[in-house]
Copies of this chain bind each other. A is one copy, B any other.
């Protein structure tokens, strides 16, 4: 059972055992001591307090350097394949907390090449358009335009390519096969691609002409890429990038990861109030067969998508979330009420978000990394 799940950069399925992932991937848990240390830099983000951001590589190392005055930069990204959904926003919200807390620059990679290579139905025109639209969602979250730059792979390839070549020269098919599960039917672009995702981890150093530490906030599903990146880093004369991993944002229908392949399970940032209401209305909950029975026996918030959404993102107040949890358990609140509250939260959030993403249209292209 515990092993009955798959987590790769391109597939997340089954019931994820996040503890086992730490073991399998060889990452480290963010423990109480590290949380205490993080709290010294500013109020802990709810995702840290709640164990949603839960795993890391070399986070202490990068904080040690930071304490000594050596600033790091952030690097995260998005495979632009379509509309942004709430599951995409979650790690970006956390990334914004890191930018605010550490005053860090951010490289945000838009991997249009990846999405083209790994998706039969997408053209490069499709991914180009999605890259632009997705970037609006990033900036709508309030990143500092002075400290944030977008790297769209096909646009910035002249700079990325030599870095990628250096990585690629050190990675055998054997390694790629073992790490990503490739086989003989994998296309040769997909096999090469991890080199391109590695490049921004060294870009800061390359542009500055000296080694700059890099911290990558990302879903734990992206760790395989950066395991490869880290393995070759020292050999190329760079620091290994540090990582900080979040769990997957759940789908509305009870699945472990929100995914565009199930639109009814997914709330897009461009959804209307009506669409949100309908989707939340159909969400999977931990409710009982009847209101009567639920009042008597209580609900199960642990499996409830509606509760998880509050827990992951929308209810930042720890007391309020604890109260909601026990209200549900004790049958003091029914699913209808809970769905109504979440719908209101999301609708309010999206109203602001949609306005801000429209504002971003006027300046977004100025934030693209460009070549001579």
B-contacting residues of A (Cβ < 8 Å)? 113, 116-117, 124, 154-155, 157-158, 161-162, 164-166, 168-174, 176-177, 182-192, 194-195, 371
Contact = CB atoms under 8 A, between A and B. Distances in A.
Contact of A191 (B117, B158, B188): B188
A117 B164 CA distance: 11
Contact of A117 (B113, B168, B186, B187): B168
A342 B183 CA distance: 53
Most chain B CB inside 10 Å of its own CB: which residue of A157, A164, A166, A170: A157
Contacts of A186: 172-173
Nearest to A370: B372
A168 B195 contact: no
A272 to B, nearest CB: 35
A209 B169 CA distance: 34
A169 B189 contact: yes
Chain A interface helix/strand/loop/mixed: helix
Contacts of A190: 168
Contacts of A116: 165, 169
A158 B371 contact: yes
27 contacts: A113-B161, A113-B165, A117-B168, A154-B158, A154-B161, A154-B162, A154-B165, A155-B158, A157-B157, A157-B161, A158-B371, A168-B187, A168-B190, A169-B189, A171-B188, A172-B187, A172-B188, A173-B183, A173-B184, A173-B188, A173-B191, A174-B184, A188-B192, A188-B194, A188-B195, A191-B191, A371-B371
How many copies of this kind of chain does the complex include? 2
Contacts of A192: 168, 188-189, 191-192
A165 to B, nearest CB: 6
A176 B168 CA distance: 16
Contacts of A371: 158, 371
A172 B185 contact: yes
A171 B144 CA distance: 41
Given A117-B165, A154-B162, A188-B194, 15 more contacts: A116-B169, A124-B162, A124-B165, A124-B166, A157-B161, A158-B371, A165-B189, A168-B187, A169-B189, A172-B184, A172-B185, A172-B188, A174-B184, A188-B195, A189-B192
Nearest to A120: B169
Nearest to A175: B188
A332 to B, nearest CB: 54
A123 to B, nearest CB: 9
Contacts of A161: 113, 154, 157, 161
B168 A185 contact: no
A309 to B, nearest CB: 36
A255 to B, nearest CB: 28
B158 A176 contact: no
A172 B190 CA distance: 9
A154 B162 CA distance: 7
Most chain B CB inside 10 Å of its own CB: which residue of A113, A124, A173, A174: A173
B162 A187 contact: no
A189 B168 contact: yes
Nearest to A168: B189
A187 B158 contact: no
Contacts of A177: 184
A370 to B, nearest CB: 10
A154 to B, nearest CB: 6
A304 to B, nearest CB: 40
